[in-house]
Amino acid sequence: MLGYDSIAELQGALSNERYLVDDGLGTVVFLALKLRRPLLLEGEPGVGKTELAKALAAVSGAPLIRLQCYEGIDVHHALYDWDYPRQLLQLRAGGSTQLYSEEFLLRRPLLEALSRPNAVLLIDELDRADDEFEAFLLEFLSEFQVTIPEVGVYKAEQPPVVIITSNRTRDLHEALKRRCLYHWIEHPDFERELAIVSARLPHIGRDLARQVCTFVQDLRWLDLYRAPGVGETLDWLEGVHALGRDELDPVTVDRTLGVLLKERDDLDRIRKQDIGGLVARAQEPPG
Amino acid sequence: MNAPVSTTWPTDEAIVRAAVDFARALRTQGLCTSVDSENVFLRALSEIDVRSIDGLFWAGHCAFVQGPDQIDTYKLIFERFWDGRPLIVGTRGAEHGESDARMEAASHHGGEAMPQLGGKGKEKVAVDGESHRSDRDIPNAEGEDATSDQQVGVMVAWSATEELSDRNDMAYEREELAALRQLADEIKKAAPERSSRRQRPSPRGHRFDVRGTVRKSMTTDGEAFRLGYTGPRPVPRRLLFLCDVSGSMERYSRVLLASLKVAVGAARKAEAFVFATRLTRLTKSLDGHDFERALEGARAAIPDWSGGTRIGGAIGEFNRSYARRGFARGAIVLVVSDGWDRGDPQVLASEVKRLQLQARRLIWVNPRPVALNEQPLAIGMQAAMPYIDEFVPGHDPRAIAGMASLIAGVDAQRPHRRTSPNAA
């Protein structure tokens, strides 16, 4: 059950699941739970939008129901479908059962979320779906109910916690935003990133973690095409650690840079620039 | 920001008053605060400790802010409002291109003090020194390289040496409006499409439609006599306009803007950007039914009319902030520019190349008259050349009808390219 009396309590619970939220995100999540409103999260790729939903599900012990959006997703992928082969068999067998009844209903993520109490529903990358699907979500998000013409109205007894993420490949509709609380997740600053990294990968030495975070923080200032997110920082740190290094050195950085940067132009740019300099900066003792 | 504001709990009435005033203050700066979001804000206040300025900040943040571009405005208003200082803001609050009567009012009476708590401060502080140029500041064209004698299409009535000094009245002649309407019609007709992942019942489709088949067999006692099929549903392909409005393009900009407005309205899916030294997204300003008002709004939204040109930089900005989010993917991209670039041609080349890799077709419309073809192209143009699918030289943007036929001419086939990406 996701009832918290204070923001600090919620932050504490999430950090037990190794997900660290700052005061801003903490307040917004707290309010989303209290007001029972969907939470719309936007931010650069890799800042932990999806992870938040996972962490929330973990702290509440509730199932995480995930709906990955894509172009062309429609009611039958998101909400319900009829089990046609079974219906057909039933019909041919001459059974007298109602063909359009719950018996033949296939529950897709949205319907699933309504029928499970306290579920955490993640609607991931909603911007990938098209306008029609967004419009379809409106009833669901404001009333936590859906209408299936053949059966009737489904309403959640306990509305699910809904997290919606978007990468802003297009603007979401005003009407949808109005139904949600909004939060933009920034890249974390150094201290926070180090804390996240230490919480997620506690077995890796703090020196290496510190160097990796410093390096990544420097990269984010460089106006790259695709600045690395926390997700990449974690991958990279694990990668460097897997190579048995406990300190950054230019050769290792050069060889593993592909874990961090996924654009050829960015890679070229950093390699042309002085990797040694960046590494030296990262190796400077703190303070 | 961790210090609590006060130790006493304010009365409900005071909270509601302050919240409504705060929402009003935000509204004057173009943040969309509906009664709905005020409601959310108030409900949020009832859940948090309202004496904490941090809590207050984030409660308002999640209720009123709807995009990263609004965060700075929100921060500004928040600080000023709860500080009790006058809220003098000279800049537009929302993202480039938002046209909103409320904002206009805000920028016109920039000195107006907004509702606020307290009222200790009397000092008038300009929030941002960079006030945007008013309409009258637009300088005239300078250093025109040639007059166009290659006018084609419906807009020939317009003089090439048209004086742009009194562009303040954006009144368009009747013939001009007729020509624009024709453009709208042609773009509607041209309407390029692509097939989407969504399916629709189609007798010629290739995917077996279980749903349709079962439904049909209900009438035949469960016997599937007629099989149903589905095929992909066509959806409009995005049109992307990137127009140069720098000094060297100035004499086209009036009609270019009108054409953009019409094109964005007519196409089922279109985005318009203009650039000089920086990039401005115009789609939202150009949207709307009132023609003149939309154009006024769009003009006001462009911070660098007739400035210098940094095509490479502007396209780079597009690539970084928009193309990365998929704006150009599969789109028909029309760049209208003469290629006069004060930036680094290397940058221009690499940015155009990047853009081309995402676009379905990259069309570059160069208004430089054909008569000048013996002279070498602008350096920027030369640099961009290898990465352009379709180069249209000597096209007078005033011949706006040509734009539609260009778009219609781009057929579904992919262009031959990418075999030698390093060709220079």
Q: Between these two residues, B219 and A194, which has the higher pLDDT value?
A: A194
Into how many domains does chain B fold?
3
Q: Do B257 and B325 sit in the same domain of this protein?
A: yes
Indicate whether B251 belongs to any domain.
yes
Q: Give pLDDT, residue B166.
A: 38
Say if B320 is an interface residue toward chain A (CB within 8 Å).
Answer: yes
In chain B, residues with a C-beta closer than 8 Å to the C-beta of A91 are 217-218, 221-222
Indicate whether B424 belongs to any domain.
no
The residue from B108, B142, B162 where one domain ends is: B108
The fraction of chain A above a pLDDT of 90, given in percent, is 51
Cβ within 8 Å, pair A91-B71: no
For tokens 């209208």, the residue is: B336
Indicate whether B396 belongs to any domain.
yes
Tell me what the mean pLDDT of segment A151-155 comes to: 89
Say if residues B409 and B374 touch (Cβ distance below 8 Å): no
- What is the C-alpha to C-alpha distance for residues B282 and A52, in angstroms, rounded to an integer? 34
Q: Do B267 and B205 sit in the same domain of this protein?
A: no
- What is the C-alpha to C-alpha distance for residues A251 and A182, in angstroms, rounded to an integer? 42
Q: Do B273 and B309 sit in the same domain of this protein?
A: yes
- What is the C-alpha to C-alpha distance for residues A86 and B67, in angstroms, rounded to an integer? 46
Length of chain B: 424
Q: Give pLDDT, residue B15.
A: 85
Q: Do B290 and B351 sit in the same domain of this protein?
A: yes
Say if B62 is an interface residue toward chain A (CB within 8 Å).
Answer: yes
Task: Report the chain A residue with the minimal C-alpha distance to residue B325.
Answer: A169
The residue from B48, B81, B108 where one domain ends is: B108
Say if residues B343 and B379 touch (Cβ distance below 8 Å): no
Indicate whether B5 belongs to any domain.
no
The yes-or-no verdict on residue A212 having pLDDT over 90 is yes
Q: Helix, strand, or coil here: B156? A: helix
CA angle B288, B294, B296 (to 5 degrees): 165
- What is the C-alpha to C-alpha distance for residues B85 and B124, in angstroms, rounded to an integer? 8
Token pair for residue B164? Answer: 């742009």
Say if B63 is an interface residue toward chain A (CB within 8 Å).
Answer: yes
The rounded mean pLDDT for chain A is: 89
Indicate whether B278 belongs to any domain.
yes
Q: Between these two residues, A113 and B142, which has the higher pLDDT value?
A: A113
Q: Helix, strand, or coil here: B339? A: coil
Side chain identity at A14, as an amino acid letter? L
Indicate whether B131 belongs to any domain.
no
Tell me the pairing of strands B270-275 and B279-281.
antiparallel
- Chains A and B form CB pairs within 8 A to the count of 102
Token pair for residue B299? Answer: 């003009």
Query: Which helix (H) or strand (E) is B55 found in, with range?
Result: helix B53-64
CB atoms under 10 Å from CB of A5, counted, come to 8
CATH number at residue B292: 3.40.50.410
Q: Structural domain boundaries of chain A?
A: 7-185, 190-280
Q: Do B88 and B214 sit in the same domain of this protein?
A: no
pLDDT in tens, chain B (424 residues): 444 445 566 778 888 888 888 998 888 887 867 888 888 999 998 888 888 888 889 999 999 998 888 899 899 889 888 876 655 444 443 333 333 333 333 333 333 444 444 433 333 333 333 333 333 333 333 333 333 333 333 232 233 333 333 344 456 677 777 777 777 777 777 777 888 777 888 888 888 888 788 778 777 777 778 888 988 888 888 889 898 888 877 777 777 888 888 888 888 888 889 888 888 888 878 877 777 777 777 778 777 777 778 888 899 889 888 887 778 888 889 888 888 888 888 889 889 988 988 888 888 888 766 555 556 677 888 888 888 888 877 666 555 556 666 777 665 555 655 544 444 3
Q: Give pLDDT, residue B97.
A: 37
**Confidence class of residue A26 from pLDDT cuts 50, 70 and 90?**
very high
Cβ within 8 Å, pair B47-A226: no
CA angle A122, A126, A127 (to 5 degrees): 155
Tell me the pairing of strands A80-82 and A152-155.
unpaired
The residue from B219, B236, B253 where one domain ends is: B236
CATH architecture of A7-185: 3-Layer(aba) Sandwich (3.40)
Q: Give pLDDT, residue A243.
A: 94
The yes-or-no verdict on residue A68 having pLDDT over 60 is yes
Q: Give pLDDT, residue B289.
A: 73
Q: Chain A closest CA to B64's CA: distance in Å?
A: 8
Among partner residues A84, A91, A178, which is closest to B210 by beta-carbon distance?
Answer: A84
Cβ within 8 Å, pair A92-B55: no
Q: Between these two residues, A97 and A109, which has the higher pLDDT value?
A: A109
Among partner residues A35, A92, A174, which is closest to B44 by beta-carbon distance?
Answer: A35
- SS (HEC) of B9-53: CCCHHHHHHHHHHHHHHHHHCCCCCCHHHHHHHHHHHHHCCCCEH
Q: Chain B closest CA to A56's CA: distance in Å?
A: 18
Q: What is the dihedral sign for C-alpha B167, B168, B173, B175?
A: positive
Domain of residue B36: give its range.
Answer: 12-108
